[in-house]
Amino acid sequence: MTAMWFERSRSGNAHAPLAALTLEELLAAAARGDEQAFAELYDQTSPRVYGMVLRVARDPAQAAEVTQDIYLEVWRQSARFDAGKGGVLPWLLMIAHRRAVDRVRSAQSSMARDDRYALLHEERPYDSVSEQVQISLEAQRVRKVLDDLTPAQREAVTLAYFGGYTHTEVAQLLKVPLGTVKTRIRDGLIRMRDALGVMA
Amino acid sequence: MTDELNVLAGAYALDALDDGEREVFEQHLRTCAECAQEVRGLREAAAELSQLSQVSPPPRLRSAVLGAVTHSRPLPPLADPVHGEAGEHGEHGEHGTVRPLRRARSQSLWQGLAAACALIAVAVSVWGYSEHRQAQRAASARSSVVQSLLDAPDVRATTTAMKQGEGTLIYSRKERRLVLIGRGMPPLPGNQTYQLWLMTETGAPISGGVFRPDQAGNVEVPASGNLDGVDQMGVSVEPAGGSAQPTPSTVQVLKL
């Protein structure tokens, strides 16, 4: 019962222009110390990374500092990327988001709770999403998928992702039980995953 | 899967757990392949949110980043799960279902590999494959697939505990061949089948064929193809005849 699967060619040859390489190939080259490949990786991914960090940190100077730390970590960890657990971009954004929320949580830990909540209530994290956006077809698609969530799911997901709040904080902000927030976040993400057709 | 913990997968994917909860959940992920799989999909969905906040960084950030990396060296890869001392547990251990005992055993196997002639006998007992072989003496010709694979210079093997039973993957990237040896896999009703998948990084999973274990739950599934950059295989339960895509809730991940 020998089975064949399709042979997939990987264009990892040294003559290919860097821009034609996949992120995975660029990262693999970076892992071998190829700084040019890493620069290309930076060029292809930094608007996603920096923009997200800026949205979470809200301060350009902090966002730049955190983004620099993120790419240094990506460079250091490049040989340890495990393609079996997902793509390069989700991996990179996972590192980035973790760093961004760590930064805002430690920066805000000294701020009084009430101030934080007041700050957030003035802001409308989801609506503000539409500003500054570079309108691309893909962004429009994600926007549509987010629009299709229930308002409660959308609010919980965006407060956690762009607001950098823990689910306990989200529950307090929305004045709903923690269990409800857990479910909204998970159900919202599952709907997004299914609608976006990301591989799971 | 514990429902109470499973529901945290979404918050985990959004970094919305506090440190203590995160630790508990990551502990859970090491033993729950289903949750690990779900987290992966939810993380990818979460990553898409950053499409909505794209902003070009200031040019000086680029020079700062590239300046910083010239003063630093990428860390070496993590040790190979079969040969290595330090496994890839900890933060990289989401799928760390390769059991330490098996790893220790497989190391001794690889030391024995040099003695090529006596090899198959050693391998058969080390891999606990002998019972299967005795039960299937008539079909022993099939294990020649395993034998020839064991002769590959870059042969590797890992064993993963599944929900029931376990799966050993023996493979050679150079020779683009792989054999799944399943043991103690539960029988399926006639209208269902197991299916093997190559889990690719970018695209949809690619079928490695359907298979059914024998009455004792043993099976040997050879497959071939390009394994470059592939780090895991999947086994799913599908309607008889197999599916074009795996049924997510049934997928069990076997790391290479």
Q: What residues of B are in contact with residue A26 (Cβ under 8 Å)?
A: none
Residue A85: its pLDDT value, please?
Answer: 80
**A8 in any annotated domain:** no
ipTM for the whole complex: 0.81
A34 and A85 share one domain:
yes
**A41 in any annotated domain:** yes
DSSP string, B18-38: -HHHHHHHHHHHTT-HHHHHH
Angstrom distance (rounded) from CA A173 to CA A156: 10
> Between B98 and B193, whose confidence is greater?
B193
**A188 in any annotated domain:** yes
Tell which of A86, A110, A134 closes a domain.
A110
Angstrom distance (rounded) from CA B152 to CA B173: 9
Looking up residue A191, the CATH number of its domain turns out to be: 1.10.10.10
Positions of chain A with pLDDT lower than 50, given as ranges: 1-15, 110, 112-134, 199-200
Q: What is the percent of chain B with per-residue pLDDT over 70, rounded to a whole number?
A: 71
pLDDT surpassing 70 at residue B160: yes
pLDDT tens profile B172-191: 888 778 888 888 888 888 78
A168 and A195 share one domain:
yes
What are the domain boundaries of chain B?
1-47, 97-255
A129 and A104 share one domain:
no
HEC readout, chain A? CCEECCCCCCCCCCCCCHHHCCHHHHHHHHHCCCHHHHHHHHHHHHHHHHHHHHHHHCCHHHHHHHHHHHHHHHHHHHHHCCHHHCCHHHHHHHHHHHHHHHHHHHHHCCCCHHHHHHHHHHCCHHHHCCCCCCCCHHHHHHHHHHHCCCHHHHHHHHHHHCCCCCHHHHHHHHCCCHHHHHHHHHHHHHHHHHHHCCCC
A62 and A135 share one domain:
no
Kindly list the strands in the beta sheet with B219-224, ordered across the sheet, starting from the edge strand earlier in the chain.
Answer: A3-4, B219-224, B177-183, B166-172, B156-161
Q: A129 and chain B: CB distance < 8 Å anywhere?
A: yes
Phi, psi at residue A132, to the nearest 5°?
60, 0
Residue A183: its pLDDT value, please?
Answer: 96
The answer to whether the CB atoms of B51 and A48 lie below 8 A apart is yes
Q: Which stretch of DSSP H or E encloses residue B160?
A: strand B156-161
Q: How many CB atoms lie within 10 A of CB B225?
A: 18
For residue B256, give the chain A residue with the closest CA: A84
Per the DSSP assignment, residues forming a β-bridge with B239 are B192
pLDDT tens profile A60-109: 999 999 999 999 999 999 999 988 888 999 999 999 999 999 999 887 65
Query: DSSP class of residue B98?
Result: B
Q: A101 and chain B: CB distance < 8 Å anywhere?
A: yes
Q: Which residues 27-46 on chain A approach chain B with CB closer than 8 angstroms?
A: 30-33, 35, 38-39, 42-43, 46
A126 and A200 share one domain:
yes
Q: What is the percent of chain A with per-residue pLDDT over 70, rounded to a whole number?
A: 76
For residue B88, give the chain A residue with the closest CA: A80
Residue B138: its pLDDT value, please?
Answer: 38
Query: How many CA atoms are closer than 13 Å to the CA of B49, on its beta-carbon side?
Result: 32
Angstrom distance (rounded) from CA A59 to CA A55: 8
Q: What distance separates the 2 farthest-apart alpha carbons in chain B?
A: 70
Question: Which range of residues forms the domain containing residue A53?
Answer: 19-110
**A25 in any annotated domain:** yes
A120 and A200 share one domain:
yes
What's at A139, amino acid-wise? A
Tell which of A80, A110, A140 closes a domain.
A110
Residue B96: its pLDDT value, please?
Answer: 34
Phi, psi at residue B90, to the nearest 5°?
65, -140
Residue B154: its pLDDT value, please?
Answer: 83
- Among B43, B144, B211, B232, the strongest candidate for a mutation testing the A interface, having the largest count of A CBs within 10 A, is B43
> Between B19 and A116, whose confidence is greater?
B19
Query: How many CA atoms are closer than 13 Å to the CA of B36, on its beta-carbon side?
Result: 25
The answer to whether the CB atoms of B44 and A42 lie below 8 A apart is no
Average pLDDT of chain B is 73
Looking up residue A60, the CATH number of its domain turns out to be: 1.10.1740.10
Residues 6+ apart with CB under 8 A from B75: A76, A77, A79, A80
Per the DSSP assignment, residues forming a β-bridge with B224 are A4, B177
**A12 in any annotated domain:** no
A139 and A200 share one domain:
yes
